Amino acid sequence: MTHLRPLIIALAQINPKVGDVAGNTALILDVAEQALQQQADVVVFPELALTGYPPEDLLFRPQFLQQVGSAVNELHRSNPGLCMIFGAVSTQNGQLFNNAVASQPGADLQYYAKQQLPNYGVFDEQRYFSAGSQACVVEVEGVNLGLSVCEDIWFSQPARQVVEQGAQMILNLNASPFHASKTAERVAEVQQRVTENKVPVCYVNLVGGQDELVFDGHSFVIDEQGKKILEAEGFVPSLTLLEFDPEKGVKAITPSIGKQIEQPGLDQLYQALVLATRDYVTKNGFGKVVLGLSGGIDSALVLAIAVDALGADAVHAIMMPYHYTSDISVSDAAEQANLLGIEYSQIPIAAPVEAFMQALVGEFQGLDHDVTEENLQARSRGVILMAVSNKKGAMLLTTGNKSEMSVGYATLYGDMAGGFAPLKDVSKLQVFALAKYRNSISPAIPQRVIERPPSAELAPDQKDEDSLPPYEILDPILEQYIEQDRSVQQIIDEGYDTDTVKRVAWLVDVNEYKRRQSPPGVRVTRRAFGKERRYPITSGFRRD
């Protein structure tokens, strides 16, 4: 068939829910209808749009695979009248494949099986899938469209293979999670494929939060000269249109509304935290959240994120003062609660702490006061927050940051209690920067909260730096040790104090048992605690 007019292609940047095959089917059909109403000939959805990404061990359940197979057939039967290309799984000869599926009215389904299966970082696709080997070219109105899936575009062979089969454009379906600098990395890699093959590439990415991952969207198009001509807005679902004529090239129909960011800044990081929090809470069936508001910087930032994610009406903050809680902390917490218009309570913890101490008098007789008494304060707060969570059906957000979690500066079953940790992969220095950024949008965090020295306020005149190196020193050491896997000696060679580096590395290693019991939190760096960084709790490894 010879094309008579430019082909109109819609990039469907959607937010599916893992495992909700029926809901995702309805979402795909609804967006396909919207694309058709805008005269689209083709609508392209992200990788595994039908199952959500990553489906993990749901893929071992025959019933789940049967649901997916039925849904693929339902999408084909219900095709509203255009070419739909979406991600789904299929089984063939006992093997499972990660597919791009093409559905056209009056034609058989076409399947492309992903060839490059990532098995690093947060990805473990080789646990589930077999690799494909064949190219797939879909003809629409006389135009040949080549299919590829996510990791394929990071390698030369799959793109070269599909172009050799006659593809005039490559459609790349993605579920590429966010981390700092990822946007620019994607664009550079796709530009390299365009340089090699001289055909344009449409990169369609997932958006939304899924457990520890957040997908930022930022779908884009690179024309045959290697120029980015279109970018969808990040962190929101969207339908972006372009037209393609093999003789005249690619032209954007929808204005490019995505910010042209080469080095992602605080705006993308903050949006990632908000989206991840919103989706984790709502996709797990909660309509509201509760958190402890201490008057410190971490809980202040989590409160702002929660309000931006869910709305003030869905957020309840509780200040729980004790003997060591300063008047400044109490007033700053109340000021922020009033500023953001949330539900706010004050529940003193002196009575429960003293009740615990009285109950333990016999056990503690003859023993000096130490961190145990501090932890009882944190655990009393945790009990109160979990009780409110249970009674009111509100998910408890924990407020600890990555710096604290790295070195174990947190209390098990105390301030670590909760359902989701928005700042789990955010360093303390980033917390301060994000607080300032959030205030640049609108007043949200009292300035004094940002300026005061950090303190857990579990002992008289306590400061974080009484127990830890200054964060300006601690955070760079942690980044090198955790995210870059640098040795203690390599970090010392960078000019850091020997004893400080050794102590920090020791604290990271011995506190794995705490992190393993902590709530999930969103990944925003190259190496987050959780499914990405998996170290043994019991280990004889010596970091020296």
* Catalytic status, residue 150: yes
9-256 carries CATH number 3.90.550.10: no
Radius of gyration of the chain (CA): 26
The answer on pLDDT for 264 being more than 60 is no
Cα separation, 61 vs 158, in Å, equals 30
Look up residue 118 and give its two tokens.
Answer: 């990532």
Helix (H/G/I), strand (E/B), else coil: 291: strand
Averaged pLDDT, 97-125: 94
Let me know if 136 is a catalytic residue: no
Q: In what order do the strands lie in the sheet with 143-149?
A: 137-140, 143-149, 169-174, 201-205, 220-222, 228-231
For 376-380, 423-427, 464-468, which range has the lowest pLDDT when averaged over its residues? 464-468
What rounded mean pLDDT belongs to the chain? 93
How far apart CA 364 and CA 368 sit, in angstroms, is 8
% of the chain surpassing 70 pLDDT: 96
Q: Is the per-residue pLDDT at 480 higher than 60?
A: yes
Instruction: Give tens-digit pLDDT for 39-63.
Output: 999 999 999 999 999 999 999 999 9
Q: Quick one: pLDDT band at residue 325, thresholds 50, 70, 90? A: confident
**Phi/psi-derived region of residue 85, left when phi > 0, alpha when psi is between -120 and 50, beta in every other case:** beta
End-to-end distance of the chain based on CA atoms, in angstroms? 67
pTM passes above 0.75: yes
Predicted confidence at residue 2, as pLDDT, reads 53
Cα separation, 489 vs 242, whole angstroms = 53
Per-residue confidence (pLDDT) for residue 535, from 0 to 100: 87
Q: Which residue in the list 114, 283, 288, 402 is annotated as catalytic? A: 114
Is the pLDDT confidence value at 262 over 50? no
Q: Express each pLDDT in 393-408 by its tens digit.
A: 999 999 999 999 999 9
Say if residue 99's pLDDT is above 60: yes
Question: What's the confidence (pLDDT) of residue 468?
Answer: 87
**Helix/strand/coil for 459:** coil
pLDDT at 455 > cutoff 80: no
Among 218, 220, 226, 219, CA closest to 249: 226
* Section 254-280 average pLDDT: 79
Q: Are 79 and 105 in contact (CB under 8 A)?
A: yes
pLDDT the model gives residue 265: 86
Taking each helix axis from N to C end, the angle separating 371-392 and 350-359, rounded to the nearest 10 degrees, works out to 120
Mean pLDDT score, 485-508? 94
Average pLDDT over residues 317-340: 93
How many Å apart are CA 462 and CA 20, to the nearest integer? 48
Give 285-305 pLDDT, tens digit per residue. 999 999 999 999 999 999 999
Query: Given 136, 150, 212, 233, which residue is catalytic?
Result: 150
Query: Which residues, other chains included, contact 170 with Cβ-Cβ below 8 Å and sequence gap of 6+?
Result: 145, 146, 147, 148, 153, 159, 162, 163, 193, 197, 199, 200, 201, 202
Identify the H or E element spanning 50: none
Q: Mean pLDDT over residues 306-334, rounded?
A: 94
Q: Give catalytic status of residue 83 as yes or no.
A: no
Domain over 284-516 is classified CATH 3.40.50.620 = yes
Strand order in the sheet with 289-292: 343-346, 315-319, 289-292, 395-396
- Choose the weakest-confidence range: 95-99, 178-182, 294-298, 382-386: 178-182
What confidence tier does 544 reach under pLDDT thresholds 50, 70, 90?
low
pLDDT value for 254: 83
The full set of domain ranges for the chain reads: 9-256, 284-516
* pLDDT tens for each residue of 143-165: 999 999 999 999 999 999 999 99
Tracing tokens 């760096």 back to the chain, one arrives at 525
Q: What is the mean pLDDT of residues 227-250?
A: 94
Q: What is the DSSP letter of 413?
A: T
DSSP state of 465: G
CA–CA separation, 279 vs 285, rounded Å?
A: 10
The pLDDT tens digits for 333-375 are 999 999 999 999 999 999 999 999 999 999 999 999 999 999 9
Place of tokens 């039967």: 77
**pLDDT (0 to 100) of residue 261:** 42
